[in-house]
Amino acid sequence: MSETYPPITEHLDDVETARDEGRRKMDWALQHMPILQALREEFESEKPLDGQRIAMAMHVEAKTANLVELLALGGAEVAITGCNPLSTHDDVSAALDAHDNITSYAVRGVDEEGYYEALRATLDFDPTITVDDGMDLVYLVHEEYPDLIDTIVGGAEETTTGVHRLRSMDEDGELKYPVFAVNDTPMKRLFDNVHGTGESSLATIAMTTNLSWAGKNVVVGGYGYCGKGVAKKAAGQNANVIVAEVDSRRALEAHMEGYDVMPMAEAAEVGDVFITTTGNRDVITREHFEVMQDGVLLANAGHFDVEINLEDLSDLAVDQYEARDGVDAYEMEDGRRLNVLAEGRLVNLAAPLSLGHPVEVMDQSFGVQAVCVREMVENGDAYDAGVHDVPDDLDREVAEIKLEAEGIEFDSLSDEQREYMGSWAHGT
Ligand SMILES: NC(=O)c1ccc[n+]([C@@H]2O[C@H](COP(=O)([O-])OP(=O)(O)OC[C@H]3O[C@@H](n4cnc5c(N)ncnc54)[C@H](O)[C@@H]3O)[C@@H](O)[C@H]2O)c1
């Protein structure tokens, strides 16, 4: 435990009730996580992480908690904190902290100083492995705890924004230990970013506002993996989808998918709901707010709260008030009200009613995280400092566990087919 920053238990009045409630949430999630269940059996009996110390900065809610518990059951000691001040569930954090091998510093709603102190607390614990969602830990290790670099075996990164940061650090020659880009592997990105972000963002926005999608103009900022999921699910709810993109090929993909494509400046005039999914900053700014209709909803599903420029919005507003839980109305001089959800933080995790991605989706992502941590422990020496793709056999291992759990059988290549596919000698 850190000497300078207290764990969750010291922030709560009724620790026992919180632990019970957190446990209940974790048990419900685990029932629907066949991949983590299968890995639990393996990790509990073989203890592949014995002697490891894992620092984690992730969204501390029930699904992540099952990953944390899995790593602890595999023999590791774990110190965890949140990767977003609004996504922590305090009860789950307390349930985790009840383990002998786990200390949780995650507390919902901490200010910026508390957020960074909690990150430092996980590093004060001298980790041998880091598991990040957004790269805050790797950054802090290199900036403030360089002595740890020699003893850290490796790390794993969960999200697109974290992998972008890692890759640019790597290009500058500044990344001093190996990190798996979990985000980029098919078993994560094709499911979590697309279906997870799509389903959970739309569900959260609907629950937070009690409004319908049908017939609305939904403007999706960015047509990457997350944007595709948001667009597809919104279209499935009978919304009219408009895509704003900066990449020509992705703009064309959106067009061929049947969506309207236009610059954000034009979309701003006609949109009813705006959802940003770019990982970039200033996607919606003053010029857009100036032309939006009364009553629009503004939500962000990208990692950081920089996609909707709230400074610009505050500047323009003559009044600001909480219209509903999780909805801040900004009133313009001409009476228009622009409604921001979850303070512009990633809506599917930070809004009061949000539950994050569906459990089944996170089972896959966290299955990949777990096998990556196991791989770093078992074969860490094989990886140089830098960003590494998840080895394909590990990615497939997770897919196969899931298919088996679902009772789904699939075909395999015959020897002749394998030879045919692997040969350049076969022509017409
Ligand atoms: N909400 C969640 O639960 C969740 C889950 C996974 C990833 N993420 C985050 O979502 C973000 C996007 O992830 P992704 O995997 O879709 O990334 P991606 O790189 O596949 O897609 C991002 C898209 O945004 C476009 N873009 C960039 N700047 C733009 C701008 N100014 N205007 C319009 N389009 C712009 C890019 O061209 C790209 O097509 C990242 O921050 C990632 O960390 C969130």
CA distance 349 to 356: 5
- Environment class of 372 (CB within 10 Å of its CB; exposed 0-12, middle 13-18, buried 19+): buried
Q: Which residues pair with 179 in a beta bridge?
A: 155, 387
Say if ligand 1 is within 6 A of residue 159 CB: yes
Q: Each residue of 373-419: pLDDT tens digit?
A: 999 999 999 999 999 999 999 999 999 999 999 999 999 999 999 99
Q: Please report, for residues 64, 281, 315, 328, the alpha-carbon distance to residue 57 in angstroms, rounded to integers and kept in the order given.
A: 10, 22, 33, 28
- Whether residue 148 is predicted with pLDDT greater than 90 in this model: the reply is yes
Model pLDDT, residue 419: 94
**Distance of CA 196 from the midpoint of ligand 1 (Å):** 14
Helix/strand/coil for 276? strand
Q: Each residue of 260-269: pLDDT tens digit?
A: 999 999 999 9
Is residue 76 one of the residues assigned to a domain? yes
**Distance of CA 419 from the midpoint of ligand 1 (Å):** 39
Q: Which of 132, 197, 226, 248 for a ligand 1 pocket mutation test, highest count of atoms within 8 Å of Cβ?
A: 226
Q: pLDDT category, 156, cuts 50, 70, 90?
A: very high
143 and 284 in a common domain: no
Nearest-atom number in ligand 1 for the CA of 304 is 41
Q: Are strands 327-332 and 317-324 parallel, antiparallel or unpaired?
A: antiparallel
Which residue type does 348 have?
Answer: N
Say if ligand 1 is within 6 A of residue 197 CB: yes
216 is in an annotated binding site: no
260 is in an annotated binding site: no
How many residues are listed for the chain in this entry? 428
Nearest-atom number in ligand 1 for the CA of 247 is 37
- Whether residue 355 is predicted with pLDDT greater than 90 in this model: the reply is no
Model pLDDT, residue 70: 98
Structure tokens given for 48: 């592949």
CA distance 173 to 169: 6
Say if ligand 1 is within 6 A of residue 198 CB: no
Q: Which of 277, 305, 354 for a ligand 1 pocket mutation test, highest count of atoms within 8 Å of Cβ?
A: 277
Q: Atom 35 of ligand 1 has which residue's CA nearest to it?
A: 222
Last residue of a domain, one of 284, 315, 350: 350
Q: pLDDT category, 427, cuts 50, 70, 90?
A: confident
Say if ligand 1 is within 6 A of residue 346 CB: yes
Say if ligand 1 is within 6 A of residue 193 CB: yes
Is residue 414 one of the residues assigned to a domain? no
Q: Each residue of 185-236: pLDDT tens digit?
A: 999 999 999 999 999 999 999 999 999 999 999 999 999 999 999 999 999 9
Structure tokens given for 110: 């901490």
Say if ligand 1 is within 6 A of residue 157 CB: no
CATH number, position 77: 3.40.50.1480
Got the DSSP string for 86-101? TT--HHHHHHHHTSTT
212 and 160 in a common domain: no
208 and 176 in a common domain: no
Average pLDDT over residues 108-119: 96
> Is the CB of residue 39 less than 8 Å from the CB of residue 370?
yes
Is residue 228 one of the residues assigned to a domain? yes
209 and 340 in a common domain: yes
164 and 77 in a common domain: yes
Residue-range definition of the domain harbouring residue 219: 197-350
- Whether residue 426 is predicted with pLDDT greater than 90 in this model: the reply is no
390 and 296 in a common domain: no
CA distance 362 to 348: 13
- Whether residue 3 is predicted with pLDDT greater than 80 in this model: the reply is no
pTM of the full predicted structure? 0.91
127 and 163 in a common domain: yes
Average pLDDT over residues 114-140: 97
**Distance of CA 245 from the midpoint of ligand 1 (Å):** 10
**Distance of CA 227 from the midpoint of ligand 1 (Å):** 7
CA distance 256 to 260: 9
Say if ligand 1 is within 6 A of residue 221 CB: yes
Is residue 78 one of the residues assigned to a domain? yes
Model pLDDT, residue 4: 77
Q: pLDDT category, 85, cuts 50, 70, 90?
A: confident
Return mean pLDDT, the chain. Answer: 96
Is residue 306 one of the residues assigned to a domain? yes
Q: Each residue of 287-345: pLDDT tens digit?
A: 999 999 999 999 999 999 999 999 999 999 999 999 999 999 999 999 999 999 999 99
148 and 109 in a common domain: yes
Model pLDDT, residue 384: 97
226 is in an annotated binding site: yes
Average pLDDT over residues 142-170: 96
203 and 258 in a common domain: yes
Q: Each residue of 161-184: pLDDT tens digit?
A: 999 999 999 999 999 999 999 999
Structure tokens given for 265: 């400046």
Domain count, the chain: 2
Is residue 418 one of the residues assigned to a domain? no
Model pLDDT, residue 1: 62
CA distance 30 to 40: 10
Which candidate, 288, 398, 302, places its Cα nearest to that of 345? 302
Q: What are phi and psi of 283, to 5 degrees?
A: -80, -35
168 and 137 in a common domain: yes
Q: pLDDT category, 428, cuts 50, 70, 90?
A: confident
286 and 244 in a common domain: yes
CATH number, position 218: 3.40.50.720
Percentage with pLDDT > 90 across the chain: 95
397 and 338 in a common domain: no
